[in-house]
Amino acid sequence: MTRKKRNRRKRKSRLRYFFLGIILFYFIIKFMPMLVSFSNETSIAEYGNIQVIDQLNCYIIRNEKVIKSNFEGELRYFVQEGEKVENGYKVAEISKDHIDDITRKKLEILNQRIESIKKNENSLFQSDIKKIDEELNKIINDIKEYKEKGNLLAIEQLKIELTNKLEKKRIITGDKSFAGKNLETLELEQENLQEKINNAICWIKSPASGIISYHIDGYEDLLTPKNMATIELESLKNMKSQITDLRAEKAIKNQPLFKIVDNNRWYMIAWLDREKSEKYKVGRRVIFKFPQREVKGKVYQIIENVKNNMVIFQIDQYVENFYSMRNIDLEVIPVKYEGLKIYKDSIVEIDGKKGVFVLDVNRHARFKPIKAIGYDDEYAIIQSNVFYNKNGERVSTVKLYDEVVRNGSKVKQGQMIY
């Protein structure tokens, strides 16, 4: 009896475990997709950009001219380093003979006095001039009246009176006046002093508008826009640039005094391997990250070589101290993609179409085709809302704020993601 009861209990236990196993297996099958989905992260599609950044070693090419001295003498500068000047601006002067400051000051005072007299001479004795003008007008009218009457004697007397009045006016206002005599004397003295200074001083003027610099490296005539396309990398690597400060107290003949640099347009050249140079197309806008700030430029020319390509950039913006730099390492942004930004690992290919899985309202993964604009190592920029495929067909794609599943290769269509 005891044995029978024991056997019944064993059977009941087995049945209980069997049904529990079936129930457990059902729940495993039911919730397996949910358990698997825990390993799948998602991201929200938002607008952004991707910048492709290259590290380039660039050589600066400028349109510049070194100005030399034709005389010997004491040197005096009027322009600061890096200052922009107009064409014909007086940059420096060379004193061939000594001109003291007293002479210079005397000429300055003379110029001021002459200008003052010329400005105010018409206002001297203004009341007297007005009275004489009224008398002259009366005499002229009287002459006309007596001419009609035929009174020749009266006319002759009025002509004498008219001549006297005109002479009086000339004395007050003309070269016979105090102001006239004074001005004539001052102008003569001004002319003599100016001639003396002109014979003793040579003014050095800028031959064009641009930036003035007193620093040269000896390559101003070699590294120019005219010959930059023929420059070889090896010759630049062997270049030993040495900066010379031209500022001095005295000048000798043929001595470099300063250089004038075109600040409106200048160039940089860099050598890139063929793979990297694919991102640089003639006319494409690029961004240079100078220590001072970011500057925009464009690809001006590409010279293809066997080992690498020479890329010439053109810059139309001013950069502080560019006139004294020759070689610089820069971060360059040749490409900037803008659009919806998603993780690159979200992208999969199904039936020859690239796309991503987007969650619907029930959190089921739905495949959506995409049109990629650009990539970097981690992200992709894609077109939003709609795009047109190769056949011109309108295709609905990812929208702003869609939830995109990451690690797309591990996801199946319709899979529930939590």
Q: Residue 177 has what pLDDT?
A: 46
pLDDT of residue 274: 87
Cβ atoms < 10 Å from Cβ of 129: 16
Residue 65: its pLDDT value, please? Answer: 95
HSE value, Cβ hemisphere, 13 Å, CA-based, for 343: 16
Classified as helix, coil or strand, 350 is: strand
The tokens of 25 are what? 């297996």
CB within 8 Å of 272: residues ≥ 6 apart = 54, 56, 280, 308, 309, 311
Eight-state DSSP code of residue 378: S
Q: Write out residues in the chain with pLDDT < 50, as ranges.
A: 1, 37-38, 124, 176-179, 181
Nearest CA among 152, 157, 158 for reference residue 138: 158
The rounded distance, in Å, linking the Cα atoms of 370 and 349 is 10
Distance CA 267, CA 288 (A): 12
Can you give the pLDDT at residue 176?
A: 46
Nearest to 187 by CA among 233, 118, 239, 246: 118
pLDDT tens-digit profile of 95-133? 876 666 777 777 777 777 777 766 665 554 556 667 778
Which secondary-structure segment (H or E) carries 169?
helix 152-173
User: Residues 285, 332: contact at Cβ < 8 Å?
Assistant: no
Tally of CA atoms within 13 A in the half-sphere of 324 that contains its CB: 14
**Cα atoms found within 13 Å of the Cα of residue 414, Cβ hemisphere only:** 0
Helix (H, G, I), strand (E, B), or coil: what is residue 365? strand
CA distance 185 to 189: 6
Write down the pLDDT at residue 27: 63
Per DSSP, 318 falls in state: -
Tell me phi and psi for residue 23, to 5 degrees. Answer: -60, -45
180 Cβ contact list (under 8 Å, min separation 6):
121, 173, 174
| Residue that is written with structure tokens 């001639």 in the block | 195
CB 92 within 8 A of CB 69: no
Q: Is the pTM of this model over 0.85?
A: no
Report the alpha-carbon distance of residue 286 to residue 173 in Å, rounded: 69
